[in-house]
Structure formats: C-alpha cells, structure tokens
Chains A and B, each alone.
Chain A
Amino acid sequence: MMQGNMSQQLGNSHRRFLQTLMTCGSVDEPGARSLHQHCCETHNTQYVPDQLDNFINAINSKLQPLFMQIRKGMSEESGQQHYALVNMAETEVTRMSSDYTENELELFRKTIDLIVASDNGLALSTDILNSADTLTTKKLKKTETEQLLKRLVQDKWLCEKQGEYTLSTRCIIEMEPYIRTMYPEQVKVCHICHNIVFQCQTCENPVCGVKIHFPCVAKYFRGRSVRRCPACDDAWEHEVPGTVFYLFLSSTSVLKVYMTLKC
C-alpha cells in the first residue's frame, strides 16, 4: 500500500468516517466506498473515487501512535471485504477488558475455544452454557450467560443464528493475531485465500481434509463443471454455494419517515 500520505492532516471527512466506522463495528467494501463519498461531500472535500485506500491510510497514520488501525478482512458469510477499527496494542482481549468483567471474559475465551475446536466454526449455545459451569474465576448462572451472549452479539463480537454462535467479521479481523498465538495447533487456514478460517467446507478425503471458506469455494469453482479438491484432486462432494447476494440495508432516517407519514 502507498505510504504517500504519512504527513497528511486529517479533515472532518476523515473524522466522520472514523466515527461512523466505530459505531457500526465494521463496514463492507461497497459501504465503505459510499461512506467515503458521503463524508467528503458533507464536508465539501474533493471526492475522488478509488482513493479510498489513500483516505484510509491517512487515518491510519494518525491511529498508529494510538495502537489502533483500520484493517480489512473477509466476511465468511458474504465473501465481501470488511473494514474494521481494531486494537493493535496487545494480543489479549484488551479492548473488551474495560467493558466486561473477568469471568465474562473467561466465558468469551471459552466460546472461542469451542469455535476453534469445531469443524464448522460454530458453538452451540448449550455447549457455551455448560462452559459457564466450569469457569475458574466466578461461575455464571444460566440467565447471566444468556444475557452476556446477547451483549456480545450487540457489541458485535459474536453473531448468532438459530442458537449457534460464530465470531463476527470484526472479531475475526481484530482477534486473528491473538487466535493464531493462542491456538497454534488448532487454528485452520483456508486453502484458497490462506486467511484464518472458521466457517468452511472440508475436503472429504480423510488424508487431505483441507478447509475452504464458503465464498472462496464459490469463487474457485465458478465456471467449473468438474469439481475436484485443489489439494488432493479427489471429487469435491459438497454443494458449491451459488451467487452471493449482498443484502444492502439502506437506512431511511426517522425524519424521512415522519415526513412521509405526515397526514
């Protein structure tokens, strides 16, 4: 990436981008581009499309002394690149530590244990609830655990669907170094993109067993009628995900709603 913007001062367009990113947790690539445009236009700064990386580099140069960075990572669901503001200071869960108590952090770590150990990158809520009984710091009751999980989802560390929990894209971007350090044996890497992988398809060949992200599978097998494992050449038994739909949630303001409903 170009380093040409090391000395560039930040304007309100950069600050607005940063504030919005902090509120959202993470933003996907199209969202980041439209946000970049919106921020420039709001503050009458010249908007040059395709300058998003430079724009972000300028912000990152100021974030670096604060041990923070805007980093990119892929969503395991959509395959889209996401941008997130992450803490680079330590490999531990520092950013969370002022928000969560010691035993809550311990439960979060146990949830990561379960996710890393699983084949599909998912932790069942029943298993997490059982872990709550084995905490060494202070035990959590069932209701406390359920509330904690809700908070972790709200704070965009975990995602939940149908009683199963996964790491959010922002969490993966932020915690990848920590996870690689803490789980060197168990951590898996996608055979196609070489990034850390949780939710994936696995080669059925017991001797092979390579893992590939769902979006990476879709990309790799696109247009191929015969599907073979890129590592061992065995038939790839799984169904290849189809075209990925991007659910683009456009926000309508309260004001607009009021106006349109005005009678």
Chain B
Amino acid sequence: MVPGLAARFLDVMTQRKRATPSSQRQHGVSALQEDEDDIPFTQPSTSQVQKALENVTPAQLDHKASEVVQYFLVKQQKKIPVRRADLVKHVVKEYRNIFPEIMKSASKTLDQVFGLKLVEIDNKNHLYILISKLENVDGPHTSVSSPKVGLLFVILSVIFMKGGVVRENVIWNTLKKLRVDPGEKHAEFGDVKRLVTDEFVRQRYLECVRIPHTEPVEHEFHWGQRAELEVSKVKLLEFLGQLHDQDPQLWSQQFKEAHSSVNPPSS
C-alpha cells in the first residue's frame, strides 16, 4: 500500500452532506460496448418453457447449465457484468426457450458449489453479476490486501461519509492528498483516472453520473451496485472508527444508514 496513506487520509474527513437529488442517473461514462447484431431476446412464457422442456433431456439441460456456469466464472475473474444477450448468443444458443430453467440450474450450482450468488443488477438491460455469499475475511492468498482494493476502499469511504454522492473533484483532491495524482501516471496504479472512471465503474463498484448543465462536463460518484451488494457499511464504519479513534455511533447519520440497509453476506 502507498506509504503514509492512512496518515494523510486522516486529514481528508470533513463534514457530512446529504446527497443532492438533482443529477440525472445515466451510465454516462461506460456503457458496455458489444456487437450490434444481437438477436433480441425476450423471456419465453412459462407455457413455452414447459413445451420446450419436453424436447430436452435432463442431460442436455445439465450440460447447458454447466456451460453457463463456466461462462459466468470466467467473466467473474474480471468482475465484469454479463449481458443476458451475450449469454444467449454465445452459450445458450438454440436452447433459448428453456433459458429460465437453465438459469435456475446454473444459479443453484453457483450457490452450492462455489458459494456465489447470481444477481441481476439491471432489469432493463439485463446484466448479471456474481457476488460471494462468503464474508470477506483476511487470510492467506486473499485479495483484501491488493492496492487497487485499498484505493477503491478510500473512494467508497469518502462517498459514504459525505452522504452517498460526491463531485468528482472531491475524489481527485482526496487522491492527490494521498499522493495518487489522477493527472500523472502512478507507479502502482498507472492511469489512475482510467482506473476510477472506467475499470471501477465497469465492474460496478462505482457509478459515475454526469451532472447536467456543467461546462466543462463534470461528474458525480456514487457507490455502484456491486459495492452496495459486496461491501458492508457497518464494517466500513467500524474500520473508520478505529482509524479515527472514534465510536462509529458518533457519525449518527451514517451509522443509521449502515444499520438500516440490507447488509451484504456474512458467513
């Protein structure tokens, strides 16, 4: 981890502000760009599924479900969401009429064998991610200690403490104080701006939203859907409490929010 990071981080915490509801929600910065020749897929009806199931052996269904599981696991390595359209086009193919059955089977396998939960994070564009049902615990070979995770953690903390949304310059200034300058190539992170606005956003850890009527264009950062599902706000507050030698309850607004929201998995 960048030395002295924590020490500087202590300087950064200022007063809390409620989230501004004014900004439009768009995935401005990074729509997943895939190919255009997708055959549009609509969910088959229950009766269509039943009918199609009559022509499929259990072995065929299991085989397709296995392929879906493998596809998800590969994408999981990069934490990039899976588009339903891609899944149908590349894996499910001619079995599209039993898509719900295949998904049910794949979901069950991912849960029982890998402890991974299949979540649809976008009901309109039909995007799926996998999140671990196991709590993030420090141990040998865990990725908790990776520098990228540390950086992400700092950003998530700032956003959370400031009420759930911050303007991008707050993030850049915070990082600059920690000697991670988005304008320069960083020894560990490389192109920091790209890491934050592209990679973290694509992985759904952050959401980057355009603020309307700003010239030049400015953005706001929110927690992304993956962060909401994977990161425990309670734990984050506890950690910050230890860092600042303060009882987390003294951050009353954040404490309330952390304990009211649906908490991510515990083992």
Given contacts A19-B114, A62-B113, A66-B113, contact A255 B6 (CB under 8 A): no
Residue in contact with B145 in the complex, picked from A62, A67, A251, CB distance below 8 Å = A251
- Cα-based distance from A20 to B145 in the complex (angstroms): 13
A42: CB under 8 A from chain B? Answer: yes
A235: CB under 8 A from chain B? Answer: no
The segment out of B26-34, B67-75, B168-176, B251-259 that lies at the interface is B67-75
Check if B144 sits within 8 Å of A31, measured CB to CB: no
Mark interface residues in B105-138 (1 if CB within 8 Å of A CB, else 0): 0000100111110000000000000001110011
Interface size class of A (residues with CB under 8 A): 35 or more
* A71-109 at interface with B (beta carbon < 8 Å): 87, 89, 94-95, 98-99
B141: CB under 8 A from chain A? Answer: yes
Check if B74 sits within 8 Å of A63, measured CB to CB: no
Residue in contact with B74 in the complex, picked from A15, A23, A98, CB distance below 8 Å = A98
Residue in contact with B77 in the complex, picked from A16, A20, A42, A155, CB distance below 8 Å = A155
B46: CB under 8 A from chain A? Answer: no
Check if A98 sits within 8 Å of B71, measured CB to CB: yes
Given contacts A66-B70, A263-B7, contact A251 B144 (CB under 8 A): yes
Check if B115 sits within 8 Å of A19, measured CB to CB: yes
Residue in contact with B66 in the complex, picked from A18, A59, A66, CB distance below 8 Å = A66
Give the number of residue pairs across the A-B interface with Cβ within 8 Å: 124
Residue in contact with B267 in the complex, picked from A12, A262, A263, CB distance below 8 Å = A12
Check if B145 sits within 8 Å of A87, measured CB to CB: no
List residues of chain B with CB within 8 A of the CB of A2: none
* B55-80 at interface with A (beta carbon < 8 Å): 62, 66, 69-71, 73-78
Classify the secondary structure of A's interface with B.
helix
Check if B113 sits within 8 Å of A67, measured CB to CB: no
- Cα-based distance from A39 to B135 in the complex (angstroms): 12
List residues of chain A with CB within 8 A of the CB of B43: none
List residues of chain A with CB within 8 A of the CB of B132: 19
Minimum CB distance partner of B153 in chain A = A254
A250: CB under 8 A from chain B? Answer: yes
Check if B140 sits within 8 Å of A63, measured CB to CB: no
| Interface size in chain B (residues, C-beta < 8 A) | 46
Check if A18 sits within 8 Å of B113, measured CB to CB: yes
B41: CB under 8 A from chain A? Answer: no
Minimum CB distance partner of B67 in chain A = A89
A232: CB under 8 A from chain B? Answer: no
List residues of chain A with CB within 8 A of the CB of B44: none
Given contacts A19-B132, A258-B243, A261-B6, contact A66 B145 (CB under 8 A): no
Mark interface residues in B82-95 (1 if CB within 8 Å of A CB, else 0): 00000000100000
Given contacts A12-B134, A20-B141, A98-B75, contact A259 B115 (CB under 8 A): no
List residues of chain A with CB within 8 A of the CB of B114: 15, 18-19, 22
A65: CB under 8 A from chain B? Answer: yes
Given contacts A15-B113, A99-B74, contact A253 B6 (CB under 8 A): no
Check if A254 sits within 8 Å of B141, measured CB to CB: no
- Cα-based distance from A12 to B132 in the complex (angstroms): 11
Check if B66 sits within 8 Å of A67, measured CB to CB: yes
Check if A22 sits within 8 Å of B77, measured CB to CB: yes
B40: CB under 8 A from chain A? Answer: no
Given contacts A42-B137, A62-B113, contact A254 B62 (CB under 8 A): no
B10: CB under 8 A from chain A? Answer: yes
A141: CB under 8 A from chain B? Answer: no
B1: CB under 8 A from chain A? Answer: yes
B183: CB under 8 A from chain A? Answer: no
Given contacts A65-B62, A99-B75, 14 further A-B contacts (CB under 8 A): A15-B115, A19-B134, A35-B139, A43-B267, A63-B113, A65-B66, A66-B66, A89-B70, A251-B138, A254-B145, A254-B153, A261-B3, A261-B5, A263-B7
A-B CB contact pairs (8 Å), 14 listed: A16-B134, A16-B137, A19-B132, A42-B139, A63-B113, A67-B70, A251-B140, A251-B141, A254-B1, A254-B144, A257-B145, A262-B10, A262-B243, A263-B10
